[in-house]
Chains A and B, each alone.
Chain A
Amino acid sequence: MFKRILLATDGSKHSVRSANHAIQLANQFNGTIDVVYVVDEQTSKSDVLHNDSKYEIERKRKEKIQSVLEQLKETDIEYNVQILHGQPGPAIVEFANTNDFDCIVIGSRGLNNLQTMILGSVSHKVAKRADCPVLIVK
């Protein structure tokens, strides 16, 4: 049923919680997990500005999602890491829809109404446009 699971993460506390749920799903259905971290244009700008080389940038980005990867390492689940570039919502949707995932697991940042209006909710956008079921972890 849920063989190929996409876990969207930004390295925050919330996404560590969603990693737990993704692991449980994968265990239950004997599935694999693709961890996806999206770098938007503003992050590109500040990362390039603050690091001396692209190797340093890559290392720092992997470090950022370290807590999620460590959780996965403790399991026997087969997993991959993908770093995508662009706006988080559309990038996740495009990657999920072109690669035939069975399920997307994504954390909700727990914003209030005003914050959602101003910042926009990535999880809502993904839920609306993805072709597969989406699990939003609160």
Chain B
Amino acid sequence: MKTHELKQEWFGNVRGDVLSGIVVALALIPEAIAFSIIAGVDPMVGLYASFCIAVVIAFVGGRPGMISGATGAMALLMADLVADYGLQYLLAATILTGIIQILFGVFKLSKVMKFVPRSVMVGFVNALAIMILMAQFQHFVGESWVMYALVGITLAIIYLFPRLTKAVPSTLVAIIAVTAIVIYGNLDVGTVGDMGTLTQQLPVFLIPSIPFTMETLMIIFPYSLSLAIVGLVESLLTANIIDDATDTESNKNKESRGQGMANVVTGFFGGMAGCAMIGQSVINVKSGGSRRLSSLVAGVFLMFLIIVLGGFVVQIPMAALAGVMIMVSISTFDWSSVKHLNKLPKTDAAVMVATVAIVLVTHNLSIGVLAGVLLSAIFFAAKISKINVTEELVLRKQKKVYRVEGELFFASVSDFPAKFNFADSVHEVEIDLTHAHLWDDSAIGALDKIEMKFEENNINVTYLGLNDESHHLKKRIGGLSKASGH
């Protein structure tokens, strides 16, 4: 059974996977180069990363059919580290990122991802799109109209070519066409070769040459933590999308571990940290890929192309890459969230906008995600902290019944006692908690306080309808906070 399953995961769809893997490899090359440039490293670093990650994930990932590689989200996070400390520190940070992600998977923490609400996810992709777009502006600085024209041609081909045929990815056609224009037109514009060297070699195993000290760890750890968080957010979001698109389930903890292993391997082979790619994974499924083989083919074919075509790749003008990145940005951005912004619940819209704003200010996607989660948690707490108390006199006005509805916890109990009338001329008070839930010490404390105040006025308090959990909690800690005691 086990081998049968494994065989299905690998070879259940050979034809579709090989074809889609090739399509994905072609689309990966310009992105891997462009993301390297965003990170501030040689194009080879991104290409090695996409090769290593795609190949390793094919074997150890939890979501067959998903494509991982060098990504914009990760590249944006590492730019500062590279600028301040250089490539070797980035490789070390990549390995540490992988270790953090492996631990995340081993301790089965993928379920904490459900605390990242949709509005934060939407904010995440929108912020990512805006950051990728902004990273392209530097290529326009001091350039002539030729640059603008070439970017325009690139975009025109990308969006219009699919009307003719969808057999070849239009980004590839655009890059070949614009590169040809530059070469045969003898145009003097910046090329990939100007941004760094491209070696036509397979990656080799290397231990990052950094001092193995506490100081080094303190430098790379904050970056690794951010990279690990963002990598998992994007990977698990992508896994959910592919789960839905293929109508199958996948193991998220296995995926977390797999992403970690892929990053460890990548770091040792001179690649930068990466994660799953939403766009490429959707392309893969659309092109008929669904099994592990598709990711393996994508990685291997990518490396094959670089070794064979490296000489061509360095001549690709930056204008073509900027055009591809603008397209990536446009397709990453969630346009429906802007269209329906006024229809969303106000708190959802606020969380989304805040997530985007915080990322744009801090230039750090992980801070945006954490702040977004925090903000939506506060909104959620505020939403459920409304307690409704109704009162009713019974037994010939000798007894009063308070019906409490809602969640009693630290945030909701502050004005809870004010809803009771302690100076009533009744002998007995019944607090009906059938539709309430006691969550913490504060809830018990508030009830004790209410009980105490009634007792001061010689009014006896009884409770009704405590649910099991609440009853247990009250029994455990109740009475302790009452000054009078029993």
Contact = CB atoms under 8 A, between A and B. Distances in A.
B334 A49 contact: yes
B295 to A, nearest CB: 17
Given A51-B118, A52-B117, A45 B336 contact: no
Interface in B71-130: 117-118, 121-122, 125
A83 to B, nearest CB: 8
Interface stretch (A2-10, A25-33, A36-44, A102-110): A36-44
A41 B282 CA distance: 6
A41 B117 contact: no
B117 A50 contact: no
B244 A48 contact: yes
A41 B334 contact: no
Given A54-B244, A85-B244, A85-B247, A45 B118 contact: no
Contact of A44 (B117, B244, B337): B244
Contacts of B278: 45
Q: Which of B117, B241, B243, B246 has the most CB of A within 10 A?
A: B241
B181 interface: no
B285 interface: yes
Contact of A48 (B237, B247, B337): B237
B334 A117 contact: no
Residue among A41, A46, A47, A86 facing the most chain B CB atoms (10 A cut-off) = A41
B244 A39 contact: yes
B240 interface: yes
Interface string A49-75: 111101001000000000000000000
B475 interface: no
A62 B122 CA distance: 23
Contacts of A50: 118, 122, 336-337
Name the residue among A85, A87, A117, A118 with the largest chain B CB count within 10 angstroms.
A85
A47 B334 CA distance: 11
Interface string B265-283: 0000000000000100010
Contact of B241 (A48, A52, A87, A117): A48
B180 interface: no
Contacts of A118: 163
Interface string A76-87: 000000000111
Most buried by A among B243, B244, B247, B286: B244
Interface residues of B, number: 21
Contacts of A85: 244-247
A117 to B, nearest CB: 7
A129 to B, nearest CB: 16
A52 B351 CA distance: 14
A42 B121 contact: no
Contacts of B336: 46, 50
A62 B125 CA distance: 27
B362 to A, nearest CB: 22
A39 to B, nearest CB: 7
Interface string B284-327: 01100000000000000000000000000000000000000000
A44 to B, nearest CB: 4
Interface in B193-243: 237, 240-241, 243
Contact of A57 (B244, B285, B286): B244
A96 to B, nearest CB: 18
Interface string A104-131: 0000000000000110000000000000
A118 B160 CA distance: 9
A46 B247 CA distance: 15
Nearest to B340: A50
A49 B246 contact: no
Contacts of B334: 46, 49
B124 to A, nearest CB: 9
Contact of A49 (B121, B247, B285): B121
B72 to A, nearest CB: 16
Which of B117, B122, B245, B336 has most chain A Cβ within 10 Å? Answer: B245
Given A39-B244, A42-B282, A85-B244, 4 more contacts: A41-B245, A47-B244, A49-B121, A54-B244
Q: Would you list the 9 A-B pairs with minimal beta carbon distance, nearest first? A: A44-B245, A44-B244, A48-B241, A85-B247, A41-B282, A41-B245, A48-B240, A41-B286, A45-B241
